[in-house]
Amino acid sequence: MAQEASSSTSSKTISLKTGDGEIFEIEASAAKQMKTVQRLIDDLGDDITIPLHNVFSKELPKIIEYYKKDITGEITKDFEAEFVKDLNDDEVKVLFLAANYLDANKLFEFLSQNIADRLESKSVEYVRKYFGVENDFTPEEESKLREERAWSFRGIKEDE
């Protein structure tokens, strides 16, 4: 399981425990990319299983998969496209929030762009639902706003 990498100082693996009690292993070099994990390692030592209360067994493997590719320098546009291809909007959202919690910059940035791509040409109602925000306009205020900017509303596709 541990790979021999000639340029790394050690091929140590770190144990991560998700919020729902499952344990996953990652390379120490991948753990470095997740600043939250690295901070925990610095505090608790690298022999202990690192607890991640806000990340669950559904998303952690996917994150590990991403960073496995990252440490070998193999992240390409094709890989990234494939990575998110079968995920629905809610799954990407969960992954994005996890990447934020883990302070995993590269994945965070990639997923925020991907979500933006998905939201482009989605309706205002969909965006509200997606972010869980409430409409605090009166119906009159809202219709006035829509009218003012009518030209920006051309080209919305049907909500899925």
Binding site for another protein (CB under 8 A): 90, 93-94, 96-97, 100, 108, 112-113, 115-117, 119-121, 124, 127-137, 142, 145-146, 149, 151-154, 156
Least Å from the CB of residue 105 to another protein: 11
Q: Which is nearer to another protein, 87 or 119 (CB)?
A: 119
Q: Which is nearer to another protein, 25 or 120 (CB)?
A: 120
How far apart are alpha carbons 102 and 97 in whole angstroms?
9
Range 40-75 burial, b when 16+ CB lie within 10 A, else e: bbeeeebeeebebeebeeebbebbbebbebbbeeeb
Q: Which is nearer to another protein, 2 or 127 (CB)?
A: 127
Q: Which is nearer to another protein, 79 or 153 (CB)?
A: 153
Least Å from the CB of residue 116 to another protein: 4
**What length is written for the chain?**
160
The CB density around residue 21, as the number of other CB atoms within 10 Å, is 9
Identify residue 22 by its one-letter amino acid code.
Answer: E
